[in-house]
Amino acid sequence: MQQEGWLPMSKDKINPDHYKKKSIETIEAIKSQMTEAEFIGYLKGSIMKYIARMGIKIPTLEGAREDVSKAHWFIEYLLKTLTDLINKHKKDPDRDLTDEELDELLNPKPTIVKFKRKDKDNDTNK
């Protein structure tokens, strides 16, 4: 139900033209570098980010609405991604996801990457 006077945020504020000036849209470039599970996690994290900061970055009702609109954009993208995955798996009716594959897709285990810090005193690139 929409309130009177409510207008959804224009897509340009959420996905502005500068994200689309290359041969591939930014979100598609991000998606191309991730597994399906990683990309779903990225979308979930983006949704959480905008909801968690609602009204904090810009402490006004308009700022809160902008953050919720951005979260909504990512929710819509997540819905599209899940729909695409459903359709992809329907094309091969003999092959459904195993419980393990479904769990990995919806609840990926974090990958821990340890970075070695440079010792500033022994930096040979000085």
Q: Please report whether residue 36 resides in a domain.
A: yes
- Residue 23 banded pLDDT, cuts 50, 70, 90: confident
pLDDT tens digits along 27-74: 999 999 988 888 999 999 999 999 999 999 989 999 999 999 999 999
Q: Please report whether residue 68 resides in a domain.
A: yes
Tokens 């402490």 correspond to: 59
Entry pTM:
0.66
Mean pLDDT of the chain: 79
pLDDT tens digits along 75-121: 999 999 999 888 887 777 666 677 887 888 778 777 666 667 766 66
The pLDDT, as a whole number, for residue 64 is 94
For the record, the structure tokens of 93 come out as 């009716």
User: Which burial class, exposed, middle or buried, applies to 49 when counting CB atoms under 10 A from its CB (0-12, 13-18, 19+)?
Assistant: middle
Name the residue range of residue 115's domain: 11-122
- Structurally, how many domains does the chain consist of? 1
